[in-house]
A and B are shown apart, each in its own frame.
Chain A
Amino acid sequence: MRSRAGRLLPGGVLVLLAALALCAPIYEAAWGIDPNGVDLSQRYGQPSFTHPLGTDELGRDLVARLLRGGRVSLSVGLVAALMATAIGTVIGLLAGYFGGKLDAFLMRLTDSVIALPLLPLLIVLAAVDLTKLGVPAAIAQSEDVSLYRIVIITGLASWTTVARLVRGETLALREREFVLAAIGQGAGSLRVMFVHIFPNALTPIIVAATLSVGNVILFESVLSFLGLGIQPPIASWGNMLTHAQETIWSAPALAIYPGVLILIVVANCNLLGDRLRDSLDPRSAGR
């Protein structure tokens, strides 16, 4: 594990899984499988050539379901993490750069949000009626709304870490002399923030984003467990795992595959984040 390639192996695993998920249509075409094709005569089928991992409770091919579920889980993780990172970065930059009352307010806000028992609040958020918020009914009632909702909710839950991190980084960079030089040369706040501070805070941001991808996927599964996650017929690993709980004794595979996939993805996200931090941190670079 001393090579650079070895360090980024967790990233490789993730890319591989993402590629597999993206290749779902190819697999489906090759095996002649319709991922939503219900076949009641094939319920809880054993692994076979036509269904490499067997079938689920409606006779659908498990591999196809897992791949489709992976597409949803991974993209939810990615998009929500990006959103959280964007929010956190902006808040962190503003707080760290402008300091003073704004900083005190934003950080008090962030600390409060971190200190809150977030899951219960998210449960409330997940149950909020979008039409009461003035969201057009066409969006509020589309089949994919649970997907958007989860992305937004998990995004809202994850920005705090990034915000604290970026703020800390900004505070440090704000005192760095090249930033002072830029200000002294007449650069405006936006220029200083985005040309001089942001690129230098990028590595910890990337690390935080990587870590939050894993957290978001976990969050989605927990919300699914509480019945507030992504709704069928859209498959995600979280709701597959939740639904399979009920038949865990007679069809354990249905619960174990998505569970294990969540575990592998989240663990590798964490590992990747850790290794990125290690390899980007100058203090540990030599070791």
Chain B
Amino acid sequence: MTRFAVTRAIEGLIVLLLMSFVVYGLIGLMPGDPIDLMIASNPKLTTADGQRLRALYGLDRPILERYLNWLTAAVQGDFGYSRAFARPVLELVGPRLVNTLVLLITALAVALIVGLGAGLYAALHPRSWIDDLIGYLSFISISTPTFWLALLLIMLFAVVLGVLPASGMPVGADTGLAERLRHLILPVATLSLASAGGYTRYMRAAMIETLGQDFIRTARSKGASEMRIVLRHGLRNALIPVITVIALDFGALFSGALITETMFAYPGMGKAIYDAIMANDFNLALVTLLFATLTTLAGNFAADLGYAWLDPRISLAAGRAGT
């Protein structure tokens, strides 16, 4: 277990290191630089000003040198300074990470409850009209562009019915928990709907597959009730493949969060990444991307733990679970 965690931590570090290099390089390939952006927004700036500012921000150095400088500082805990928000990057990332985790975890929980529940129900009542309905809804859910869904939800619930706020974060005087939760409903609904459809389908398929296994026949031959067969013998086995796909979905969930946060003006990591890239804010883009990666890696790690907990055949001590 410890060995597994250490191995994964090392792997994670390598992935992060590679990511940081790739992202840094990619950002370097983006057209223009932050100073161009300043020049674009303030026509009075001269080229001489541009050069002075470039030197000030260290942008006149070759990309590799800048990367190594950044890396050296990062290793010492200084992840740089966000130009677009004029704050040290870490200071900005902290609250946003919390916001995103709140959104992600809530949405994941909702998606899991709804998706797995619906998938389970459908698997136990194959070819019933409810199964058809669930299948149909899950197809709709995976086929709708997230931003469009968000817009439709906002139109319906915020504008026409006026029952829910159109944005994800309260800004008025009342920012208490209840208000916070009320604001979370639509973003969470958007994000979880986008994932729940997929989970439903995985769950249904896995459960039907499991129910066709020999050991289910054994359980029946023992006289176990349907309830016992499903809960005691089916569910845990069916969850094993489902966990794997869900783990693979973390990246997609994060991508969904980016869209959701943008639509609901929710100050989270996804939006920060997008803003930072759009504003050529090197350091912020880099660090937010790394944190996003770290989040998904952590999610994957959690999924592996869950996987090992569900499946006794997987021994964490022996290294990564084969798939």
Contact = CB atoms under 8 A, between A and B. Distances in A.
Contacts of A222: 145-147, 255, 259
B289 interface: yes
Contacts of B251: 114-118
B291 to A, nearest CB: 10
Given A112-B15, A123-B274, A124-B23, A221 B145 contact: yes
A127 B26 CA distance: 9
Interface string A251-287: 0000100010011001100110000000000010000
Interface in B97-151: 139-140, 142-148, 151
Nearest to B159: A249
A214 B61 CA distance: 43
A125 B26 contact: yes
B255 A119 contact: yes
Contact of B289 (A114, A117, A129, A248): A117
B143 A118 contact: no
A121 B255 CA distance: 10
Interface string B247-263: 11011101100110010
Given A117-B254, A124-B285, A129 B31 contact: yes
Interface in A211-254: 214, 218, 221-222, 225-226, 238, 241-242, 245, 248
Contacts of B145: 218, 221-222, 225, 238, 241, 259, 262
Contact of B142 (A116, A120, A259, A270): A270
A218 B262 CA distance: 17
Given A120-B270, A124-B23, A124-B285, A115 B296 contact: yes
Contacts of A121: 23, 26, 289
B239 interface: no
A117 B293 contact: yes
A225 B147 contact: yes
B266 to A, nearest CB: 16
Contacts of A30: none
Contacts of A241: 145, 148
A128 interface: yes
A117 B29 contact: no
Contacts of B242: none
A270 B258 contact: no
A4 interface: no
Interface residues on A, range: 35 or more
A242 B151 CA distance: 11
A115 B250 contact: yes
B7 to A, nearest CB: 12
Contacts of A248: 151, 155
A117 B30 contact: no
A119 B254 contact: yes
A116 B139 contact: no
Nearest to B145: A221
Contact of A118 (B26, B140, B212, B255): B255
A141 to B, nearest CB: 12
Contacts of A115: 15, 247-248, 250-251, 293, 296-297, 300
Contacts of A101: none
Interface in B6-34: 11, 15, 19, 23, 26-27, 29-32
B252 to A, nearest CB: 7
Contact of A127 (B11, B254, B277, B296): B277
Contact of B151 (A116, A214, A221, A245): A245
A129 B30 contact: yes
Contact of B292 (A114, A120, A245, A255): A120
B139 A129 contact: no
A124 B254 contact: no
A127 B275 CA distance: 13
B203 interface: no
Contacts of A245: 151
Nearest to B257: A117
B188 interface: no
Contact of A117 (B32, B155, B277, B296): B296
A108 B15 CA distance: 10
Instruction: List the 9 shortest-distance A-B pairs measured between CB atoms, nearest first.
Output: A119-B255, A129-B31, A266-B143, A267-B143, A117-B254, A117-B292, A120-B273, A128-B29, A225-B147
Interface of B: 11, 15, 19, 23, 26-27, 29-32, 139-140, 142-148, 151, 155, 212, 247-248, 250-252, 254-255, 258-259, 262, 270, 273-274, 277, 285, 288-289, 292-293, 295-297, 300
Interface of A: 108, 112, 114-121, 123-125, 127-129, 132-133, 214, 218, 221-222, 225-226, 238, 241-242, 245, 248, 255, 259, 262-263, 266-267, 270-271, 283
21 contacts: A115-B250, A115-B296, A117-B292, A118-B252, A118-B255, A120-B277, A121-B289, A123-B277, A124-B30, A124-B277, A124-B289, A129-B30, A129-B32, A222-B145, A222-B147, A222-B259, A226-B259, A241-B145, A245-B151, A270-B142, A271-B139
